[in-house]
Amino acid sequence: MDSSRIGEATARRLAADGHRLLLGARRTVRLDRIVTEITAAGGTAAARRLDVTEAADVQDFVAAAAERYGRVDVIVNNAGVMPLSPLEALRTEEWNRTIDVNVRGVLHGIAAALPVMRAQGGGHVVNIASVGAHEVSPTAAVYCATKFAVRAISEGLRQESAGDVRVTLVSPGVTESELADGIADPAARAAMRMYRAVALPASAIADAVAYAISQPPEVDVNEIVVRPAASVQ
């Protein structure tokens, strides 16, 4: 997960539904607060620092979940960054960071969880993408490319899974989150403020994740797109 709004809302919803959680993100102070509040409400949760760009870190994270709970039934790959800018700005370091987190991070999660799920006879991979997996807008070419990639990876995994591992892609429209806080390009940042004037609560995405994983084993909810009702994008 990430420890920002969608990740936090998803953790709280799944804990309330009775799932036992291991939360991972780079910001451990925030994670610890979430875990404390979940356990105080009667849920089961623990936290571990996680950098999804490091394959070994993700492997250790999934191994820790399996050791703690005996199984890994669901992994939610939610970490993401969105440093928008026109391509001509040549912010190549931002491009590489976006690819590292948004694409490699998902692949690292799959690589860590899939062998565990295969060995135990099943599991569920949930990848959080974006409406940017379905459309491209100015300043968002690299970001959208990463989300198109997550969509393609998810569909490929679904086709290869032969029914034992379920795969869900959740694509949020404009949602309350901290993604836009990392936009350094002034024009892109101003445009995103206008674009995000109408936003979903993070709980709407958490509800979509909970719906997908609550289905019976023979039902595989493959794609969910969630937009504000007033959105025209």
Nearest to 125 by CA among 138, 134, 139, 112: 112
Sheet holding 123-128, edge to edge: 74-77, 123-128, 165-172, 223-226
DSSP string over 132-186: GGT---TT-HHHHHHHHHHHHHHHHHHHHSTTTEEEEEEEE-SBSSSGGGG---H
Identity of residue 179: L
CB 179 within 8 A of CB 82: yes
Distance, CA of 183 to chain centre = 19
Map tokens 């939360």 to a residue.
23
Tokens of 215: 């289905």
Name every residue whose Cβ is closer than 8 Å to that of residue 53 and which is 6 or more positions away in sequence. 100, 101, 104, 105, 108
- List 69, 143, 195, 211, catalytic entry: 143
Instruction: Determine the Cα–Cα distance for residues 47 and 97; give it in Å rounded to an integer.
Output: 24
Rounded-to-integer distance, Cα 37 and Cα 214, Å: 23
Active site includes 143? yes
Catalytic annotation, residues: 143
